[in-house]
Structure 1
Amino acid sequence: MKNNKSFDRRGSGRNKKIYFNADDKKENKFGKKNKFDNKKRYVSTAPFRKKSPKTPKENDGTRLNKYIANSGICSRREADIFIQNGVVEVNGKIITEFGYKVQPGDEVFFDGRYIRPEKNVYVLLNKPKGYISTTKDEKARKTVLDLVANASPYRLYPVGRLDRQTTGVLLLTNDGDITKKLTHPSHEIKKIYHVTLDKKVSVEDFGKLLEGLRFEEGIAKVDKISYIEGAPKNEVGVEIHIGWNRIIRRMFERLGYKVEKLDRVMFAGLTKKALKRGYWRILTDLEVNTLKML
């Protein structure tokens, strides 16, 4: 056997020894020679070292559209349009770059008004009759914001609308992205209503509602419809994903029915269980995360 020789290498081989062994030609259990036969064997002589922790990256700021959305103004996509139109200023300079990043200490103005990011708040309301789902009303009627006035220090906005006489689940938030997502037709957010009519609904009309009725906006149809268990036949449960104005009432009116009560019992997986009419609660973290995954 030849004497082992070793030498140090620079670069990636530093602190390693290279051994030569011409007689190392053992066969493995499959009868084949080891693939490393007659090749250099590397054995590290340096102690194991822990990798040095990565240097934290410097704060590279927040994208301007996200900054605006987090301020409760609108969604990121809408913010891009406002930025492009020169509505936004940073430190007194109009910014039209989509990728511009706001740094700590920067002053951002939207349409001449100073803004800053807010903590996102999500409020679930069991809406009673007599309240409209707008932020303000020219006729000084009661709005849903009157009911949630103490829910958050930030301004909240209804996600979609329930008409004045409709009751039930209504989400309010200052998260522009969530609002856009839950109201955009492409996401087909599911809603379930308990509908009370002036007379029994026929099975034939069930079929018409499932097949669809034509309106100015297009064809409106329900996804599911059934009688309410244990209730008279003039009470039905309706599942629908379209969000056209007063569409449930309009569909039944087209078929000759009058809607006496309309109560939304589910919206985007959220229900009013254990929530009294006119009361609200803050969504749990799990509920918020579920909404973001829809």
Structure 2
Amino acid sequence: MKEFSKKKIVLKKKELKAEEPTGDGLIRLNKYISNSGVCSRRDADKIISDGLITINGEVVTELGRKVSLDDDVRIDGNRLNPEKKVYLLLNKPRGFVTTLDDPHAERTVMQLVQNACTERIYPVGRLDMQTTGVLLFTNDGELAKKLTHPSYEKKKVYHVQLDMDFRPEDLEKIKSGIELEDGFIAADDIQMIDPEYANQVGIEIHSGKNRIVRRIFNHLGYNVEKLDRVMFAGLTKKDLPRGRYRFLTPQEINFLKMS
């Protein structure tokens, strides 16, 4: 059996575009409220318009108002304490369960990031125990929902190693779509990685169904020997060793929020 190739997988490349930070240390009031966990930004706008917010004792109804972390912001007299948002990318190794707390799991992904920050972060989506690669962690519930909800169609790219050479005729089947036990599924793109490695393919898909990549290939008679997620929502594990993590850059965070 051929060794798992190190060749880079690039199916579709999108340029990251991000807003430049203002650097004044201020954030919009609706974001401040959302960060406190009270509600979404949209609901925060209504709360502000209804005159339920005070800043340093003054009622504020201006939607574009900005505040600092030192301001005394209250809703119905109760002071808000927004938690700092954390965004962390892990290059997940094999053998770790994607869970917050599982008494039956010997090793979980939370053990790999437990010393990263004091904030309580959680994985966005999941990778099964034997799948490796890009796994995002955050305490930003609004963004996590956006990244995992099917309607947003966030792309994921996987490097797949099979137990046999990939049959060229199956490439079109996967592109056109196949019927699984829980419904129809089609890849956004699929390519052979290299003629020298006929048992390895790259597949791009936005479905968040459980073990969907493995089930696609199982349906066609293959066993997936190795599965590595090399991209999630535009984020890659480039230069990040297996089992290590890094914090997202401001540009990456803005890209995720705007895309």
- TM-score tier, shorter chain, comes to 0.7 to 0.9
Cα displacement string for residues 59-101 of structure 1 (whole angstroms, at most 9, x for unaligned residues): xx956x963x524x69728x97xxxxxxxxxxxxxx9xx9854
Distance 1:188 1:206 in 2: 21
Give the 3 Å change call, closer, same or farther, for CA 247–228 of structure 1 in structure 2: same
Distance 1:267 1:128 in 2: 16
Distance 2:210 2:227 in 1: 14
Aligned residues: 210
Give the 3 Å change call, closer, same or farther, for CA 171–102 of structure 1 in structure 2: farther
Given that residues 52 and 75 in structure 2 are in contact (C-alpha distance below 8 angstroms), is that contact kept between their aligned partners in structure 1? no
SS at match of 1:228: strand
Cα displacement string for residues 134-180 of structure 1 (whole angstroms, at most 9, x for unaligned residues): 11113143211111112111011111110010000011011111101
Q: 2:40 — aligned with what?
A: 76
Higher alpha-carbon deviation: 267-276 or 228-237:
228-237
Consecutive unaligned residues of structure 2, counting only runs of 5 or more, are: 1-27, 56-71
**Counterpart residue identity of residue 136, structure 1:** D
Cα displacement string for residues 213-265 of structure 1 (whole angstroms, at most 9, x for unaligned residues): 12343211111111112641000000111111000001100110000000000
Q: Does 2:215 align with 1:261? A: no
Structure with the bigger RCO (C-alpha within 8 Å, sep 6+) is: 2
Sequence identity of aligned pairs in percent?
Answer: 53
> Aligned runs of 1:115-264 on 2, under 5 Å?
116-229=81-194, 231-264=196-229
Give the 3 Å change call, closer, same or farther, for CA 284–253 of structure 1 in structure 2: same
Cα displacement string for residues 106-131 of structure 1 (whole angstroms, at most 9, x for unaligned residues): 599xxxxx983211111010000111
Distance 1:177 1:166 in 2: 26
Higher alpha-carbon deviation: 252-261 or 208-217:
208-217
**Counterpart residue identity of residue 273, structure 1:** K
Higher alpha-carbon deviation: 214-223 or 279-288:
214-223
Distance 1:258 1:74 in 2: 46
Consecutive unaligned residues of structure 1, counting only runs of 5 or more, are: 1-60, 81-94, 109-113
> Aligned runs of 1:96-111 on 2, under 5 Å?
100-101=52-53, 104=72, 106=74
Give the 3 Å change call, closer, same or farther, for CA 184–235 of structure 1 in structure 2: same
Distance 1:100 1:74 in 2: 13
Distance 1:99 1:220 in 2: 48
- So what's the TM-score if we normalise by structure 2? 0.73
**Counterpart residue identity of residue 222, structure 2:** Y
Give the 3 Å change call, closer, same or farther, for CA 126–210 of structure 1 in structure 2: same
Q: 1:18 — aligned with what?
A: none
Distance 1:129 1:102 in 2: 50
Distance 1:138 1:75 in 2: 32
Distance 1:99 1:243 in 2: 40
**Counterpart residue identity of residue 40, structure 2:** R
User: Structure 1 residue runs of 4+, over 3 Å off?
Assistant: 98-103, 105-108
SS at match of 2:166: coil
Q: 1:33 — aligned with what?
A: none
Given that residues 159 and 202 in structure 2 are in contact (C-alpha distance below 8 angstroms), is that contact kept between their aligned partners in structure 1? yes
> Aligned runs of 1:36-55 on 2, under 5 Å?
none
Structure whose alpha-carbon radius of gyration is higher: 1
**Counterpart residue identity of residue 76, structure 1:** S
Following superposition, the deviation at residue 212 of structure 1 comes to 1.1
SS at match of 1:263: strand
